[in-house]
Structure 1
């Protein structure tokens, strides 16, 4: 498993243009939302979901969307989804809770995890992701992001992801 600095080196060697900003550790989207970043781009919520048949999905959506897991399960042709445990997250992708992003798929060389990106992010030109560690955020253009995913063999499935109805 590679860690943050190795990932940043890999991105640089691949020719990706990105900016990196270091900050205090954040554990969830609420804490992330309080960060005053100088980076511009779409903040993304990243969730590792699993179904009873063993399928694993890294779902990437907008920062403020509250997902309807039943609807997501239907979209993915799954019966029922649940959140993967912190241990499973670390064993599969080498990251702790709060550090998950599609960049973590660099550690999924066996391709156990399917990447699903919310169509609500389709028009974004720059994404903000943690580079395997929630004490840093990088801004990565959509083209460089897609090139990275292609280089590690993790092509995304863009899907319409439903939000949970407002209470």
Structure 2
């Protein structure tokens, strides 16, 4: 199948969206600190922007071809999250506790604790940590996605980890040993 056919068709986009939406949703949940409704909104917005880009002939943006649609979608998701956090100065506030959910008993407390700690971090710190440690993205790729320099990514990562450790305090080793 020719490259133009793969990039231009609605069926191919539907296949792409179906295969990537779960991964995008998990990343969005981590970014939003467990706010599943906001995570769904972010994924929806990401996929709609991807559809717009998908329909453009040749996938040309500023003279460069997008070779990695999955990576491009991740970048859209992170930028949408940061943009949403900037716009939301006086809007709704997240609830203090994550609602009860069925799941494995062994790691649910750890998961809730980590989500709450991530939720307490500033949006850009959260984005850097999720990209670097959840998505396993390199410093350079993280810098490209967040449109900043590699030095800024290293500095933000270091500071975000210090903040996360301060938020978790001594509770994390107890939760992991269970």
TM-score by length of 1: 0.23
Between structure 1 and structure 2, the one with the greater Rg is 2
TM-score by structure 2 length? 0.22
Task: Using CA pairs under 8 Å that are at least 6 residues apart, name the structure with larger relative contact order, 1 or 2.
Answer: 1
| Higher strand residue share | 1
